[in-house]
Structure formats: structure tokens, C-alpha cells
Amino acid sequence: MTRPPAQATPAQATPAQATSAQATHQGAPPSAPSGPGMPPARTLTQQLAACGFSVHSYLWGDRQELIICNIPAARSCLTLTNGGHACWHYEPRGGPPSAAMLAAIIMHILGAPSPTGNTPGADAYQAFPLKGTVGRCLQDRGLTVTLRISEDLESFEATTGIQVTSPARPWLGEVHLADNGDLDWECDYRAAFHNDPAHLAATIVPVLRGQCAGLRRTGYGEASVTGPGEPGLQAR
């Protein structure tokens, strides 16, 4: 069955709006909304379009699904509900990125501080499977990591993943990492960003831009995700 896309009107986001959203994500929740009073899905569509991404929108009951297009190295979608729940799915193409890169992306999403020089890097846990390496790196950086097991009693299959949260910024929700490197970030954007969904776009755009521009390596074995005018996301 063909799902008709919702209508969206292009708009431009100012540098001041993007800077404000980035600062809010790193600190405490904003004291007041900064976006205009328009439907959340439309706000996000306009913000993403202003950053160069096309969006296909589908409405399913109380759920609005935004498929983010023209990302060569990944698949990505953002789902919103009328109750304020948001879920961003990020699925790398061609296999998962490195453990250092995945840790950097999760640290960025949850607003974790940059590691110090004495913090072990991914190489310290290279004997572990992917999610184990990422989980230990994130624990070393002050995040809470929990092992999650899902059972399918019909097929007798079990899958495992990790769930990551920030004790310092619990309002930013939780990130789930699967064995294959897929990421899901879930949060209540109303509680996290005082009902301003523009901050969701400000959080995911640096990651999406890093994929579009290609991942680049920096010194000392660091992995960096950067986009035009965006701060780098680094993990040692």
C-alpha cells in the first residue's frame, strides 16, 4: 500500500537558532521554547530541509514518521507521537562504524563531556564484541550502560543490545545500540527541550552531516564527525 507523504513548506533556519539549540543540548533543559508555534513534524521538516536534507513524511494514527533522505552512508528516520515521544533511528550502510565512532555519536546525543587524556579508548577493549567495546568506553565517560535481552518465543531467537543513559542529563532519554551497529535514540522532547522539537534536529544534524561529508580521521587515533559550521564529535 502506498503511503502518501504529508505536505511540508521549506524554511530557512538562522545560525543563531542552531547555536542556541546546540548550547541547550549540552546544558540543562531550556527555560522556554525557542521555536515557532507550529506542528512538531513541520518544524523538524523545515529545520532538516534548511540543512540540506529532504524529508518524506507519513502519518500513521497518532504517529508521524519522517524519513530523512540523501544520506549516502546511512538510513535514518525520526518518529514523533502526539504524546511527545520521539525516536530517532540511525542505520549505517555497509556494516557498523568503528566502536570509537559509535561511542562518539552516543556521547554527543546524551551530552557527555569529552574524555580526558587518562580515559581509556576503544583500543583498550578491542577483545570485546562491538557493543561491549562501546559500552565500556561509555561507562568510562560517566554514562550508565545496561545490557538488554529481547526474546522471540515463536522463533526461539534472542537478541542483545545495550541501553545508554546519562545520570547528569536524564531528560535526554536513552540510546539503544544493537549488535549490528544500529542506533535508536528515544526521549520525550517536551520534557527534554520544553516542547521545542527544533532541538531534536540540532542534535542529529551534526551526525547526518558527518555521514554525508564522509568520515575523516584526525590525529592520535581519534574519530571525528564534522559538518560545515558544526563542532566535531570525537572519541579517543
Enumerate the domain spans of the chain. 15-235
Q: pLDDT tens, 171-191? A: 999 999 998 899 999 999 999
Q: Where are the alpha helices (DSSP H) in 31-172?
A: 40-50, 99-109, 130-140
Reply yes or no on whether the pLDDT at 166 is more than 50.
yes
**pLDDT of 117:** 73
The full DSSP string for 185-235 is EEEEHHHHHTT-THHHHHHHHHHHHHHHH--EE-GGG-EEE--TT---EEE
Cell 521555536 locates to 35
Contacts by residues 84-87 (CB-CB < 8 Å, ≥ 24 positions apart): 84/188, 84/189, 84/190, 84/191, 84/195, 85/186, 85/187, 85/188, 85/189, 86/186, 86/187, 86/188, 86/189, 86/197, 86/200, 87/184, 87/185, 87/186
Cα 108 to the center of its chain, rounded Å: 8
Number of H helices, E strands in the chain: 6, 11
| Residue among 65, 52, 61 nearest 211 (CA) | 52
- CA-based radius of gyration for the chain: 18
**pLDDT of 109:** 94
| Residue among 172, 61, 150, 49 nearest 106 (CA) | 172
Mean pLDDT for the chain? Answer: 77
pLDDT bucket at 148, cuts 50 / 70 / 90: very high
**pLDDT of 37:** 56
> Cα–Cα distance between 221 and 236 in angstroms, integer?
7
Find the mean pLDDT for residues 140-166. Answer: 91
pLDDT bucket at 25, cuts 50 / 70 / 90: low
Cell numbers found for residue 98: 568503528
Reply yes or no on whether the pLDDT at 227 is more than 50.
no
Inter-axis angle of helices 40-50 and 198-213, nearest 10? 30
Q: What angle do CA 138, 143, 145 make, to 5 degrees?
A: 75
Find the mean pLDDT for residues 39-57. Answer: 92
Q: pLDDT tens, 87-100? A: 999 998 888 888 98
